[in-house]
Chains A and B, each alone.
Chain A
């Protein structure tokens, strides 16, 4: 059996052992996650495995097969250059299929004044980019992929992994953030171009500080600026679709989600640019009581 190298990564409440057949790939991860807490005891929640699809594919047209404690049978392998994306997908998979201590919402989140703003929507809606931008403009970044809703308290638990910037968001964020916080540019991935961005140091240091959800947005990029109200039943159904473990949590998940929908104000927000979105968000935030 070929040798594996691994690194333990702690993001919010979860710990991952990311094991890879490629030593170099592990050191890239080590570097990018360098300002996250060190896991001293090697005690983790999940193992992610990144291995050659076939033994010879470690060297010849190397390709990365993603698996781990939780896995999908039909995950397509990625070229070695996209190893960082493979690691990200492997960690997402563990959370999506294996995490049960929170209701997982496919949403980004940021915090101000102890209150959390959540943004959810289909891919391309801009939720991830907006969270990254707000995270550089006075908000605390809490996560670009999963918002973790506490089952008992209804609070949001941060999950600030590396931000996965896609396509147009890459040049936009490069204007705002110094180059040393970026990972390598991954071109031509199944999701287009991807570049990883380290959240601000403060966001990582406070990743165990919860925030009460105060507003949920359904952003939609590329339409004239507009705000719309949504019915509670529509919100509920869309959030069940945006949750990876709603079904797996059974009644507990139902209770947590109905409470969230009852308590948190929601708007659908169309926007044309990041600046426009930020202005709309600032206005909405000021109007919250």
Chain B
């Protein structure tokens, strides 16, 4: 039995490594890849290799399935564009939808759930109204949650389209307002790059910072392997096209108060996927990195999450990062007392 997610990381990093897998290990690897939402990326990565027939069929399915996911994501993005046509200001696509809209390597085979967009904070009331007019509605109309989102979060409460059943998250910045770093969404909007159809994506440095904020500064590393695979894809492609990329990234990360996080993500990505990063960046806290890798690979050959204690530590950390202690206590108390 495979004991953790290392074979998945190895396969992404070095496709030839799968030649060592036995039949049963293939089944385990596939369960792990599905659980980590990396089956599509893996399928693309292993294209052209000589694989067992049943495995090849599973990967062919994954490739087909993600092709449809891609089409749907682009369609959904276009729906939002039409809904927001008369709202002044940029609509910036985020995460997976942005990667596929821009044709980036990080988008190839990537799973995409909700549509995430970034708009200017002062346009939120108009955006909200336009989306409600166009058929989106609130997912969970709960007064506490609603108020919480509006006062402390970086996005509106989630909305879902009543006919297409697709969710949209409308962001006005990239981290909860209660988190310590204060990124500069204004700069992200200013520098956003227009695509042919009138939608925008973030500039490469901002896109990378957002990817990092998402995985390192706002969460418990669940789905971390996928998010760091995104990071690997983004920085590898951006730095290949722009020799100044790392330097610009450093400056921009500083501005968003995310430099430490960006460097840490780079170190982890380097350790996991062999990402080429600037030499002086590869220094990190060994203990912290080892603990994080232990967390990131916590999955067994049945696709189950393992290492409960390690995961708990990161879960607590995620709440700690998200809000100050007294506020956290109040929040958890309210949540606890609710039926």
Contact = CB atoms under 8 A, between A and B. Distances in A.
Contacts of A17: 27, 31
Given A42-B23, A43-B23, 9 more contacts: A17-B31, A45-B54, A45-B58, A47-B31, A47-B302, A49-B302, A69-B31, A248-B65, A250-B71
A43 B303 contact: no
A248 B213 CA distance: 32
14 contacts: A15-B54, A17-B27, A41-B23, A42-B23, A42-B24, A42-B27, A43-B23, A43-B52, A43-B54, A47-B303, A49-B302, A49-B303, A69-B31, A100-B64
Interface of B: 23-24, 26-27, 30-31, 34-35, 52, 54-55, 57-58, 61, 64-65, 68, 71, 300, 302-304, 306
A176 interface: no
A100 B61 contact: yes
Given A248-B65, A250-B68, A250-B71, A19 B24 contact: no
A19 B1 CA distance: 13
| Chain B interface mostly | helix
Contacts of B64: 100
Nearest to B53: A43
A77 interface: no
Nearest to A250: B68
A5 B305 CA distance: 17
Interface string A24-67: 00000000000000000111110101010000000000000000
B2 to A, nearest CB: 12
A146 to B, nearest CB: 16
| Chain A interface mostly | loop
Contacts of A255: none
Contacts of B65: 100, 248
Contacts of B52: 43
Nearest to A47: B31
Contacts of A15: 54
B61 A47 contact: no
B68 A248 contact: yes
Contacts of B302: 4, 6, 19, 47, 49
A68 interface: yes
A101 B57 contact: yes
Nearest to B300: A1
Given A1-B300, A100-B65, A43 B24 contact: yes
A49 B24 CA distance: 16
Contacts of B31: 17, 47, 69
A68 B303 contact: yes
A249 B68 CA distance: 8
A7 B328 CA distance: 45
B26 A43 contact: yes
Contacts of A19: 302
B284 to A, nearest CB: 29
Contacts of A68: 303
Nearest to B31: A47
The interface centre, meaning the residue of B27, B58, B304 with most chain A CB atoms within 10 A of its CB, is B27
A103 to B, nearest CB: 13
A98 B33 CA distance: 14
Contacts of B61: 98, 100-101
Contacts of B34: 69-70
Contacts of A101: 57, 61
List 9 tightest A-B contacts by C-beta distance, closest first.
Answer: A42-B24, A41-B23, A43-B23, A100-B61, A47-B31, A69-B34, A44-B27, A250-B68, A1-B306
A162 B226 CA distance: 37
A283 B144 CA distance: 63
Contacts of B300: 1
Contacts of B57: 45, 101
